């Protein structure tokens, strides 16, 4: 037994000193000093020895156990000290070294666009008004002279919303709740204030069930609205020309194309020469994917319909008005020097694209 104890001691010391991690050291401790370890197994054989041999072997077992426990503690201390040194080395920091500057971001292109548009109209007395992203059917359609069977009031065109999934919020007076399909809903709200004259530009979000190169489900519009005595088409065209020249430059071509809108009469669509194809309708020898004909619609405009004025409590015999609504993203799509071939790129969050704008 004495020889077995000496052999176990040598093997245990070798295993303890060779351990390079707390995990391997723990395995050595369990193997040699654990309750079911090799030393415990030899100790169970002491009962079969003669009394004088039992005493001698017992003292040797205790001596070996104490020596192995001390070796274990010593190696464990070394491993922890080594681990601490590694952490300290890895986390070392020179506090006197100059810091690394964080990359500075910038405003999104749509934020830049809305600020520029607001500044342009403020120079001719237009005040920016708050836009409503969700509004009642009354302001979005009914008060704008749209009949109940108008296609825009269909769920395939407009997003109707409700307090719970699958339900649509309704009001006895104002109808259903919708995500505003245009910023024109601001017109009657402004008329209801009864404060004249009105020179307002409302910039906000609009929502429609469309998604392609020149349409996205959520986009931004700005609504120009002017109410005063003796407003006419010359006033409307003058304001539009002023904006076009201020925003796009004096060389860009525009045209007013007769159209039909329920809330204006007469009505026009405002087109601008396409910057993507240079107004030719062709890009690299094929039909331009953005305009297809050399012109791109910016928005609609016209003289406010008398029924809209009446819906806002205004006498159309006393006051007249004009309105126009343009897409913010589409205006920037046509801005000189940008060449944005797909509106959806503006919301891809691709830094390679956004950093150059």
The per-residue pLDDT for 11 is: 82
Outline where 163-305 has alpha helix (H): 186-193, 233-248
CA–CA dist 219, 133 (Å, integer): 11
pLDDT digits (tens, 9 = 90+) for 106-162: 888 888 889 999 999 999 999 999 888 899 989 999 999 988 877 777 777 888 887
CA–CA dist 120, 58 (Å, integer): 99
Across the range 85-89, mean pLDDT stands at: 68
Query: Is the model's pLDDT at 328 over the cut of 80?
Result: yes
What percentage of the chain exceeds 70 in pLDDT? Answer: 93
Two tokens, residue 119: 């500044």
CA–CA dist 348, 19 (Å, integer): 53
Outline where 258-342 has alpha helix (H): 306-311, 328-333
Across the range 294-309, mean pLDDT stands at: 92
Contact 324, 306 (CB under 8 A): no
CA–CA dist 111, 116 (Å, integer): 9
> Kindly report the CA angle at 302 between 243 and 255, in degrees rounded to 5?
55
> Residue 186, SS3?
helix
């Amino acid at each position: 037994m004495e020889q077995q104890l000496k052999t176990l001691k040598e093997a245990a010391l070798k295993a303890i000193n060779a351990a390079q991690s707390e995990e391997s050291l723990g395995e050595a401790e369990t193997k040699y000093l654990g309750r079911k370890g090799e030393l415990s197994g030899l100790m169970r054989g002491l009962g079969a020895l003669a009394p004088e041999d039992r005493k001698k072997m017992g003292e040797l077992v205790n001596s070996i156990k104490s020596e192995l426990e001390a070796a274990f503690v010593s190696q464990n201390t070394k491993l922890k000290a080594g681990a601490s040194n590694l952490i300290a080395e890895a986390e070392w920091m020179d506090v006197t070294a100059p810091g690394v500057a964080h990359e500075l971001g910038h405003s999104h292109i749509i934020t830049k666009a809305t600020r520029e548009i607001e500044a342009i109209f403020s120079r001719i007395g237009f005040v920016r008004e708050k836009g409503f992203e969700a509004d009642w059917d009354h302001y979005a359609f009914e008060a704008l002279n749209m009949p109940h069977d108008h296609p825009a009031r269909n769920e395939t065109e407009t997003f109707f919303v409700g307090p719970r999934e699958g339900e649509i919020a309704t009001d006895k007076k104002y109808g259903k709740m919708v995500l505003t399909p245009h910023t024109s809903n601001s017109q009657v709200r402004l008329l209801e204030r009864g404060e004249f004259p009105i020179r307002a530009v409302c910039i906000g979000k609009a929502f429609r069930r469309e998604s392609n190169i020149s349409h996205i489900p959520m986009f931004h519009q700005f609504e120009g609205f002017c109410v005063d005595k003796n407003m006419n088409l010359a006033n409307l065209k003058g304001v539009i020309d002023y904006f076009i020249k201020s925003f796009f430059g004096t060389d860009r071509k525009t045209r007013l194309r007769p159209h039909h809108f329920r809330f204006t009469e007469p009505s026009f669509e405002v087109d601008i020469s396409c910057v993507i194809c240079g107004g030719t309708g062709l890009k690299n020898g094929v039909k331009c994917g953005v305009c297809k004909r050399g012109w791109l619609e910016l928005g609609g405009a016209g003289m406010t319909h008398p029924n809209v004025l009446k819906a806002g409590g205004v006498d159309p015999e006393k006051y007249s008005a004009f309105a126009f609504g343009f897409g913010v993203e589409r205006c920037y799509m046509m801005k000189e020097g940008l060449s944005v071939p797909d509106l959806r790129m503006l919301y891809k969050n691709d830094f390679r694209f956004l950093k150059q704008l």
